[in-house]
Structure 1
Amino acid sequence: MFSGFKKETITVEDQGFGKAEIVCRHGGKGEPLLLLHGNPMSHITWHKIVDDLKDKFYVVASDLRGYGESIGPEEGGDNHINYSFRAMANDQISLMKKLGFDEFKLVGHDRGARTSHRMCLDFPEKIKKVGIFDIMPNRHIWTVQKKNWAMSKWHWLLMMQPYDLPEKLLSSVPAKYYMEKKLSKRGATLEFCKETFDEYVRCFNYKTIRASCEDYRASPSCDLDHDNEDFEKNNKIKCPIFVLWGNRSDTGKVWGDVLDVWQNYSDQQVQGEGLDCGHYLQEEQPKKVLEWFKKFL
């Protein structure tokens, strides 16, 4: 995986969110492109598409703070701010700056897509184009509740509970068992991640569990506060945007009005489509994802 890429651990600027050491792989040629993964994965989720991108882009695939091999602060801070999307966005801006890039194109999946959304709002001058994979806006989720969403998103409702209930529950079962249940629940078999499954299991240790629970606690608290503030100020995504989702994922099955909703959060015309897959687009439908990369980026 990631042939020709350099693996590196970079200490990013604190910016008031606690120290973080971000693990990434980077390589290729051309203009910079940052790829961000989701929960409970790591940057290797992009392994099926990076070889086709590295001749046109200088690709940076990064672990979010606390995920994969990255390390974030032990404490979540007031209102879980140290694991907010704002904290994660600051990490990635700092990472790209240290790699020599002041502006770049950006694609995120799941939690990485939420971080990407926040980067577009907080650093509009840095993001040239953005791709959002298989999510609805965080504010939309918490203001337009649906029963089927709550039933499917059991991990959201579990992980947002106060410390240390979810940490103890998640660490009390084998990581392999949890990963099998988590990765197969969104319209997919585990066939899609047969090359990456063991690595996801390896990285699902207490460090990652602690960080990801703080991440999910931030979502309905400080993240929602930040989102409401931007929405009230009419601060929207300013760069060109495309949105992809899986027709068999929660985004496709529960919500259904994906592009219309995202249009409320963007100044640009939102492009995109649903793909014939579940939640993990880049591993389930890499060829279709690459078509959109080449068409849009």
Structure 2
Amino acid sequence: MKELGPAPLMAGFRLRDVAVGGGITIRAATAGSGPALLLLHGHPQTHVTWRKIAPALAGRFSVVAADLRGYGDSSKPAGGGDHAAYSKRAMAADQIALMRALGHERFAVVGHDRGGRVAHRMALDHPGAVERLAVFDIAPTATMYARTDRAFATRYFWWFFLIQPAPLPERMIDADRAWYLRRHIDNQLKTPGATEPEAFAEYLRCYDDPATVHAICEDYRAAASIDLEHDAADAGAKVEAPLLALWGGRGTVGALYDVPETWREKARDVRGRALDCGHCLQEERPDEVLEELLGFLNR
């Protein structure tokens, strides 16, 4: 484990690089004391997406805000022919190893977007580790693919663009990574200014790396292949931990799915509601997210 000093944009947090096995290192920002809480970001963000709520959470919890494999400053291995290196199973195992290295055997986990998909798989594969699970602005991966229609394919075109064989999407994004990143964030968020220039610059610093772009494509390729195989293999399994689902009332997921009902198909104890925002709840409505999380985590 390597200590790296204060975490930019994350007041009171310090950065660490933690070896989690298999040659993988995970970058994490940590702060606080009390029950352990893992925060997992989505695409195209990094752990910095939690900057508006993590300091308050650290007043009550031992908070770990981690970069997923392939994102931020975590390792970016080759995906392999079957994309297994970016399966949510592999990405979840990274985070389990991270938390154990930090001394946390059991913890709550909050995941936005891709991080929510990793958290879902973590709760299935490691039920003894996950005490509570919150997922932000997603329906289950298998559900979304199974119910694909023109509306979904149009709104979430990157689910079908990024899975194309390498190097097609990589080359196209590499032509103007900053433009693609800005367009992606602006299209998904419905609250102007929610991603401040400093945060966008940090996201771009990480995104402006061909290895990151390739890893992101591998993440989505895995979601459309090996992740679906894993989901099918345990289709009857349900998350045992209490699950909170929050979503953006002005976003795609809330418009196309009955979000709580999709999660009741996958978990035994589900609650949740929409917030008046787009895709990135923790950046668009941080005070409401914090209130919902504290109520859920302190039950």
Query: How would you bin the TM-score normalised by the shorter chain?
Result: over 0.9
**What TM-score results when the alignment is normalised by the length of structure 1?**
0.94
CA distance in 1, matches of 2:285, 2:189: 13
- 2:145 aligns with 142
Q: Which of residues 173, 178, 181 in structure 2 aligns to 1:179?
A: 181
- 2:294 aligns with 294
**What TM-score results when the alignment is normalised by the length of structure 2?**
0.94
- 2:157 aligns with 154
- Helix, strand or coil at the partner of 2:194: helix
- Helix, strand or coil at the partner of 2:166: coil
- 1:67 aligns with 71
Q: Which of residues 129, 132, 146 in structure 1 aligns to 2:135?
A: 132
Q: Which of residues 2, 6, 15 in structure 2 aligns to 1:7?
A: 15
Contact 1:186 1:248 in 2 (8 A): no
For 1:135, give the aligned amino acid.
I
- 1:58 aligns with 62
- Helix, strand or coil at the partner of 1:22: strand
Deviation at 1:254, TM superposition (A): 2.0
For 1:259, give the aligned amino acid.
P
For 1:3, give the aligned amino acid.
A
Contact 2:76 2:212 in 1 (8 A): no
CA distance in 1, matches of 2:97, 2:81: 22
CA distance in 2, matches of 1:127, 1:215: 22
- 2:100 aligns with 97
- 2:265 aligns with 264
Q: Which residues in structure 2 correspond to 1:1-297 (within 5 Å)? A: 1-14=9-22, 19-73=23-77, 75-173=78-176, 175-194=177-196, 195-204=198-207, 205-231=209-235, 234-255=236-257, 257-268=258-269, 270-297=270-297
CA distance in 1, matches of 2:266, 2:183: 32
CA distance in 2, matches of 1:88, 1:7: 20
CA distance in 2, matches of 1:66, 1:260: 31
Contact 2:191 2:284 in 1 (8 A): no
Contact 1:28 1:58 in 2 (8 A): yes
- Structure 1, 219-228 or 188-197: larger mean CA deviation: 188-197
CA distance in 1, matches of 2:49, 2:71: 12
Deviation at 1:187, TM superposition (A): 4.7
CA distance in 2, matches of 1:123, 1:98: 16
Deviation at 1:208, TM superposition (A): 0.8
For 2:140, give the aligned amino acid.
P
For 1:264, give the aligned amino acid.
E
For 2:245, give the aligned amino acid.
V
CA distance in 2, matches of 1:220, 1:135: 15
Deviation at 1:189, TM superposition (A): 4.8
Deviation at 1:3, TM superposition (A): 2.5
Q: Alpha-carbon deviations, 1:30-73, whole Å to 9, x = none?
A: 11100000001100000000111111000000000110111121
Q: Which runs of 4+ in 1 moved over 3 A?
A: none
Deviation at 1:179, TM superposition (A): 1.4
For 1:294, give the aligned amino acid.
L
State the superposition RMSD in angstroms: 1.0
Q: Alpha-carbon deviations, 1:158-213, whole Å to 9, x = none?
A: 1100011111111111x221111100112525511014111111110111101000
CA distance in 2, matches of 1:55, 1:200: 26
CA distance in 1, matches of 2:122, 2:192: 31
CA distance in 1, matches of 2:189, 2:19: 37
For 1:265, give the aligned amino acid.
K
Structure 1 pair 176–78 and aligned structure 2 pair: CA distance change class (3 A): closer
Q: Alpha-carbon deviations, 1:230-260, whole Å to 9, x = none?
A: 11xx2110001100000111111122x1101
Contact 2:191 2:277 in 1 (8 A): no
CA distance in 2, matches of 1:165, 1:291: 42
